Amino acid sequence: MATIRQVQVTFDCAEPERVARFWCEVLGYVITLPEDGKGAWAVGADPSGVGPRLYFQRVPEGKVVKNRVHLDVRVGTGLVGEERLAALEAECTRLVALGAVRGRLLLADEENESCQVMQDVEGNEFCLD
């Protein structure tokens, strides 16, 4: 039987503290910054210990293509139709105020419920699901 391990999601970014503060606000996480004040990294942690640790590290290159992996922020779980769209819109509005950018709204079809595509403060794609 396989051993269950914790997962850490790592973000390459230009401004680790800025991106970490955004994601900690989105998810209700607690931020930890390096004591040396150099800002080369930042950590976001779920205060309940349930969610994955988020690690933000400074890299010299900028983002040039679409993410191969992205986060889905699950705000509409169990909701359908207009009720789901309202929940997505409310969270989208909150996140835009934090610096996110609204993308395409993907409407429900035969296989998937509606979701809102977004970008964080450095252009990393994520979905409100």
Q: Left (φ > 0), alpha (ψ -120 to 50) or beta: where does 88 sit?
A: alpha
Domain ranges in the chain? 8-58, 71-128
- What is the C-alpha to C-alpha distance for residues 97 and 89, in angstroms, rounded to an integer? 12
Q: Does residue 63 contact residue 121 with C-beta atoms inside 8 Å?
A: no
CATH architecture of 8-58: Roll (3.10)
pLDDT for 1: 67
pLDDT for 48: 97
Beta-bridge mates of residue 57? 12, 41
- What is the C-alpha to C-alpha distance for residues 119 and 101, in angstroms, rounded to an integer? 5
> Which segments within 2-100 are labelled E, that is strand?
8-13, 30-32, 41-45, 53-58, 71-73
Q: Left (φ > 0), alpha (ψ -120 to 50) or beta: where does 64 sit?
A: alpha
pLDDT for 109: 92
Q: What is the pTM of this model?
A: 0.90
pLDDT for 5: 76
For residue 76, with 0-12 CB atoms within 10 Å meaning exposed, 13-18 middle and 19 or more buried, which class applies?
A: buried
Could you read off the pLDDT tens digit of each residue along the chain, which spans 129 residues?
Answer: 677 778 899 999 999 999 999 999 999 999 999 999 899 999 999 999 999 999 999 999 988 898 889 999 999 999 999 999 999 999 999 999 999 999 999 999 988 999 999 999 999 999 999
